[in-house]
Structure 1
Amino acid sequence: MPEGHTLHRLARLHQRRYAGKPVEVASPQGKFTDASTVDASVLTGAEAYGKHLFHHYPSATVHIHLGLYGTFTEGKLPAPPPVGQVRLRLIGSTHWTDLRGPNRCELLTPDQVDAIKARLGQDPLRRDAKPDAAFERISSSRTSIAALLMDQTVVAGVGNVYRAELLFRHGVAPMLPGRSLDPVLWKEMWADLVTLMRYGVRTGQIDTVADGHLPEVTGRAPRQDRHGGEVYVYRRAGQPCLVCGTPVAHQELAGRNLYWCPVCQPA
């Protein structure tokens, strides 16, 4: 599932390409039956909150959640004929965008949009984020910090990659209860998370490795993974830690894969 930086990157792209002008909105697949309601309307703005994308029109908002399989395809006009199951097609003055396979593509009222935002946690990529509010939830919980970071009602937009890498970079054991996390350490983790995710918005990939541990410095082979970027522990189970050489550990937690270094992140 795409992490928060991907949705914020998409929001910026759609804002730049479509906002302020009328947009043709259609559903070639036919499943988004409300497309005609906003067709030919002016897109007033695009924004992301966590893993949710919102396209705002004067009369309503299109809410998109990509889920595991949702993808966007973009291009310059003229738009080609729709290929496959295109749930949503946007055509602006210069570009077109197709959406396939989302978990959600629906028309919402302002109150419904507010309800979605109200149940989400703090998004490190939003200027209105309140890290102290996230820590209040964390510090009152016996749940592991690894699980809390993936709880979208606590921190919105963090996925498996950022979770694993953030904990490694700060030497935090994944199973540490949230209530045992030091508040000063949390402030450092939050600031780091903001920096990492902003970098992801700019580049479109997740890079978490310090310069001294990059392949060109250490002589190791570059990472080969569809997610791109250099990471310390994510999807590196059994491989040597880039810092201490200990095999990276792996287990399943709440249905998701968890990666960490037992030495750099001692219990």
Structure 2
Amino acid sequence: MPEGHSVHRLARQFADVLVGERLAVSSPQGRFAQGAALLDGHVLTGSVAHGKHLFLGFGHGLVLHVHLGLYGAWDFGGDAGFRGASSIGAPRKIGEREVYGDDAGPDAVYAGPPEPVGAVRVRLAGGHGWADLRGATTCETLTRAEADAVAARLGPDPLRNLPGDREGFIAALAKKRTPLATLLMDQKVIAGVGNVYRAELLFRQRLDPWLPGSVLPAESAGLLWDDTVATMSDGVRDGRIITTPPHYWTRLREAGAGEAGTLREPEDAHFVYRRHGLDCRDCGTAVALTEHAARKLYWCPGCQRS
């Protein structure tokens, strides 16, 4: 499932290429025909991400709310002025790369979006570009009040990091005897963290996945929040999840794995995620894997002990 950094990149890309344009909104697949009709012909005025939720606001007060879920993805394209990824979302290939198309030449003539391919739930088309949505779990047209109610049910988003968010996260953990591995995936506790960031952040902070939130000292909870903000912000910048600092890549170069500063993928990007059975990068203990709350949990039994 695309994690919060991907949805924030989506919001930024919409702001760059479609906000301010009057859009033709349609549902080639047909499943979103009524919702699309409510948005068709109106100006896109803003794009906001909160956790894994994307909110596209239109000038007449309605909002397109999208949650990509496991399989959702947006495809983009346009004229020579279009810049950005041509595809953001799931299904994700190993390595968390986004897909970039070839830039149109300076003399290219934009003739509008291509014919829809596959089950396009909704198409947004402006004068210079277009965006197609496929496979999303949620795609709905809401009033502003309804969209605000959706956001209100979510926990603080580390990529927004608003005043009081850090304190709210610390307080939420202190009230729960639930394991940290569960709490980091609870979107009402912290919005945007998924399975990759969950495993990597717990390792980076050397936290036992089964430690109850109420047992974690407030100082440690604050450091966990701070690392989440920093690491996910890197994901927004890079367009992929990389949690290993560069000196780990140099260590791999010294072992004959590549040039200094060059990140092979996916082997070098993570500490524990999808590395079960391999040696921990720090202590040499075999990385463990188990099922936890119907998701795969990766951790190092040597580094992550209470």
Describe the superposition over 1:166-186 as per-residue Cα deviations: whole angstroms up to 9, x where unpaired. Answer: 110111010001011111112
Tell me by how many angstroms 1:127 deviates.
4.0
Tell me if 1:239 matches 2:278. Answer: yes
Distance 2:71 2:52 in 1: 13
TM-score, L = length of structure 1 = 0.95
> Within 5 Å, which residues of 2 pair with 1:46-195?
46-59=47-60, 60-76=62-78, 77=110, 78-128=112-162, 130-195=165-230
Identity %: 48
Conserved? CA contact 1:212–1:218, under 8 Å:
no
Distance 1:58 1:90 in 2: 15
- Quote the RMSD (CA, aligned, Å): 1.5
Tell me by how many angstroms 1:245 deviates.
1.2
| Corresponding letter in the other structure for 2:213 | G
Conserved? CA contact 1:91–1:97, under 8 Å:
yes
| Corresponding letter in the other structure for 2:71 | Y
For this pair of structures, how many residues does the alignment match? 265
Q: 2:31 — aligned with what?
A: 31
Q: Show structure 1 runs of 4+ deviating over 2 A.
A: 215-225
Tell me by how many angstroms 1:37 deviates.
1.2
Describe the superposition over 1:237-267 as per-residue Cα deviations: whole angstroms up to 9, x where unpaired. Answer: 1011111111101111100110000111113
Q: 1:216 — aligned with what?
A: 253
| Corresponding letter in the other structure for 1:49 | H
Conserved? CA contact 1:205–1:229, under 8 Å:
no
Tell me by how many angstroms 1:218 deviates.
4.6
Distance 1:183 1:127 in 2: 17
Tell me if 1:201 matches 2:257. Answer: no
Gaps of 5+ in 1: none
TM-score, L = length of structure 2 = 0.83
Distance 2:283 2:247 in 1: 13
| Corresponding letter in the other structure for 1:239 | L
Conserved? CA contact 2:161–2:229, under 8 Å:
no
Distance 2:246 2:271 in 1: 12
Conserved? CA contact 2:63–2:144, under 8 Å:
yes
